[in-house]
Amino acid sequence: MFPFFELSLQLNAFPIKKAKAELRKIQLIPEQEFEDFIQNKKQEIVDYHLKNNSSYQKLVGKTSFNNWSDLLIMTKKDFQEPLKERLSSGFSPATIYVNKTSGSGGDPFIFGKDKFSHALTWATIINRFGWFEIDFNSSYQARFYGIPLDFIGNTKERFKDFFSNRFRFSIFDLSDKVLDGFLNEFKTRKFDYINGYTSSIVLFAKFLQQRNIVLKEICPTLKICVVTSEMLFEDDKILLGKQFGVPVVNEYGASELDLIAFQNPNGEWQVNSETLFVEILDENNTVLPYGKEGRIVITSLFNKAHPFIRYDIGDIGILDEKSTAKKPILKKLIGRTNDVAILPSGKKSPGLTFYYVTKSIIEDDGNVKEFVIKQTKIDTFDIEYVSETELNLAQINKIEAAIALYLEKGLVFTFVRKEKLERTNSGKLKQFVSLIKEIA
C-alpha cells in the first residue's frame, strides 16, 4: 500500500525518514556503550537549553552545570506561561509542533517540540507497533479516542484519520445502542488492530461479554489491541484478551514527551531509552535503585525547542531490577501523585486503593459497568456508577467492610447510580478524583 501516513508527516515537514534512520543508529549501539550514549545526550540537551533557552536559564539560575543531581526538577507548574516565552532561540510556534496536554492529571499546558523531535516520536511508535506486525502505512486501526465536536476541529481529525488509515469510534457516548453500532463496524471492516483509551475499550469488552461474542470471530483480520492513557488492571487485561481473542498490549506515553513504555512481545513493559532518560526519585529528589517505588522523572533527550529536563510527569512507578541502561523495564505503574486520598487519621492512600477494593466486589456479577470514586470531604467519598440495576444493601455492606479493613474505619460512602459517567474533554475517565483542598 502507498505510504500515506509517512508521506503526510513529510508533507508537514516532519523528517520521518531521517528520524527512522537516527532511531536505527541508536538501537545498534551495543549495551556496553549505551550508558555513555545516554550521558552524552543528557549533557548535550542541558548545555543546549542553558545556552539557548532564557526560560530554562531563569529556572536553573545559571548557564552551566557540573552534577546532574544539582539540576532542578521541572513540574507542570513551570510551564504556566505563554509558549513563546518558553521556546529556545530560533524556534517559534509557527515552526514547531504545538499541542496541549489533556489536563486529566491536572495543570494542562501548551507545549512545543521541534519537528525532528516529533518525527522521532513517530519513528519510535512505528517501531514499537512493528513488534506486533502492525504497519502504520497499511494496517487498519479501530481508534477508540475522543474527538473535537466543533466543525473545524472535527474535520481536521477526520482528515488525519483518513491519511492515518484509521476509523474513529467516538467514545463520548458508550450506551449499548452505540456499542451495538461499534460491533456492526467490526462485522464489515477489516480492522488489523484496536488502539485507544483503556476505559472505553474495557466497556466495549464487557458489552461483548454480555452477548457472548469474541471479536476476532466476527473480525478475523484483528491482530492486537493496544490500550493507552489510563490504568489497565490485570483482570481487565484478561477480559480484553478473552473477548477480543487477540494479544493485549499496554502502552504508556505522554503527549508532551514521547512514547514512554510499550509492552514487548515477551510481556515486558519496555521503557523508551532511545529518546528519553527515565529516573525514579524519592521525596528528596534522590535517585532510587531499580526495584524501588518513586516519582517518575523524565528527560527528553532530543527536544531542542522546549526543555523537558528532569520533568516530574506526576506518576509513581517502579523500574524492574533486571533493567539496564539500554533496556529499562517498567515493573509497575502505580498512578498519579495527585491521585492520593488523605484520610482523617492522617494516613495517605493512593486513589487506586479504593478502586481495587470496590472493583473486586461490585463487578462480580457484571452488573456494574463503570465507576469513579470522588473524595468530597476528608472522611466522605461518593462512588458514582453505571449499572443494569442498583446496588443492593448486601453489596454496599461488603464494600464498606472491605474499605474499613484496607483503609480505616469511620469513612462515609455515598453510592450514586448514573446513566453515564463524566469524562474529560478528550474522553478519558479519571477513576479517582479528590475535590478537597488538602490534595494538591
Distance CA 289, CA 161 (A): 42
Q: Rg for the chain (alpha carbons), in Å?
A: 22
User: Is residue 199 domain-resident?
Assistant: yes
Within 10 A of 329 (CB to CB), how many other CB atoms are there?
19
How does DSSP assign 120-174, residue by residue?
HHHHHHHHHHHTTT--TTTPPEEEEE----SHHHHHHHHHHHHHTTEEEEE-S--
Label residue 403 by pLDDT band (50, 70, 90): confident
In-domain check, residue 47 = yes
In this structure, the answer to whether residues 254 and 344 fall within a common structural domain is: no
Q: How far is CA 226 from CA 32, 69, 101, 131, 274, in A?
A: 32, 35, 20, 12, 21
Q: Kindly tell me if the per-residue pLDDT of 217 is higher than 50.
A: yes
Q: What is the pLDDT of residue 439?
A: 42
Bridge partners of residue 145, in order along the sequence: 170
Closest to 76 (Cα-Cα) out of 274, 211, 278, 255: 255
pLDDT at 298 exceeding the cut of 90 = yes
Q: Out of 261, 278, 310, pick the residue that ends a domain.
A: 261
* 310 found inside a domain: no
> Do 231 and 354 share a domain, yes or no?
no
> Contact at 8 Å (CB) between 413 and 397?
no
> Cβ neighbours of residue 336 under 8 Å, at least 6 residues apart?
105, 314, 315, 316
User: Tell me, what's the pLDDT at 438?
Assistant: 45
What is d(CA 45, CA 51) in angstroms, rounded to the nearest whole number? 10
**Residue 411 is part of a domain; what is its CATH number?**
3.30.300.30
Share of the chain above pLDDT 70, in %: 91
Query: How many Cβ atoms from other residues are within 10 Å of residue 420's Cβ?
Result: 13
Check if the beta carbon of residue 144 is closer than 8 Å to that of residue 204.
Answer: yes
Going from the C-alpha of 256 to that of each of 40, 168, 411, the distances in angstroms are 22, 22, 38
State whether 236 and 346 are in the same domain: no
Is residue 298, in this structure, part of any structural domain at all?
no
- 234-247 confidence digits (pLDDT tens): 889 999 999 999 99
367 near 388, Cβ under 8 Å? yes
> Is the CB of residue 76 less than 8 Å from the CB of residue 109?
yes
Closest of 429, 319, 329 to residue 374, by C-alpha: 429
Query: Is the model's pLDDT at 17 over the cut of 90?
Result: yes
Q: Are residues 250 and 139 located together in one domain of the fold?
A: yes
**Same-domain status, 257 and 390:** no
- From 210, 244, 261, the end of a domain falls on 261
Cell of 39: 550521558
Sheet holding 432-434, edge to edge: 412-417, 380-387, 368-377, 432-434
Residues 189, 196 contacting (CB under 8 angstroms): no
CATH of the domain at 170: 3.40.50.980
264 neighbors 131 (Cβ within 8 angstroms): yes
| Residues 351 and 227 reside in one and the same domain | no
| Boundary-marking domain end, from 261, 295, 330 | 261
No. of helices (H) and no. of strands (E), the chain: 12, 19
Between CA 419 and CA 440 the distance in angstroms is 30
Give the number of domains in the chain: 2
The residue range of the domain holding 199 is 4-261
Q: How far apart are CA 221 and CA 188, in angstroms?
A: 11
Q: Is 379 helix (H, G, I), strand (E, B) or coil?
A: coil
Report the mean per-residue pLDDT for the chain: 88
347 and 210 housed in the same domain: no
pLDDT digits (tens, 9 = 90+) for 153-205: 778 888 888 878 899 987 777 788 889 999 999 999 999 999 998 888 998 99
Alpha helices in 293-392 (DSSP H): 351-362
C-alpha–C-alpha distance, residues 30 and 418, integer Å: 55
Residue-wise pLDDT for 234-281, tens only, equals: 889 999 999 999 999 999 998 899 999 999 999 999 999 999 999 999
Distance CA 194, CA 244 (A): 10
Residue 280 resides in a domain: no
pLDDT in tens, 301-358: 999 999 999 999 988 999 999 999 999 999 998 876 666 788 898 877 767 677 667 7
Q: How far is CA 380 from CA 106, 288, 417, 423, 435, in A?
A: 22, 35, 17, 22, 10
The predicted structure's pLDDT at residue 407? 81
112, 118, 154, 162, 344 from 137: Cα distances, Å:
26, 18, 22, 11, 54
Instruction: Give domain status of residue 294, yes or no.
Output: no
In a domain, 412, yes or no: yes
The tally of CA atoms less than 13 A away on the side-chain side of residue 95 is 10
CB-based burial label for 327 (10 Å; 0-12, 13-18, 19+): middle
CB atoms within 10 A of CB 91: 20
Answer whether residue 285 is part of any domain.
no
235 and 364 together in one domain: no
Is residue 307 within 8 A of residue 290, CB to CB? The reply is: no
**Same domain for 359 and 242:** no
The tally of CA atoms less than 13 A away on the side-chain side of residue 363 is 19
Per-residue pLDDT at 102 exceeds 60? no
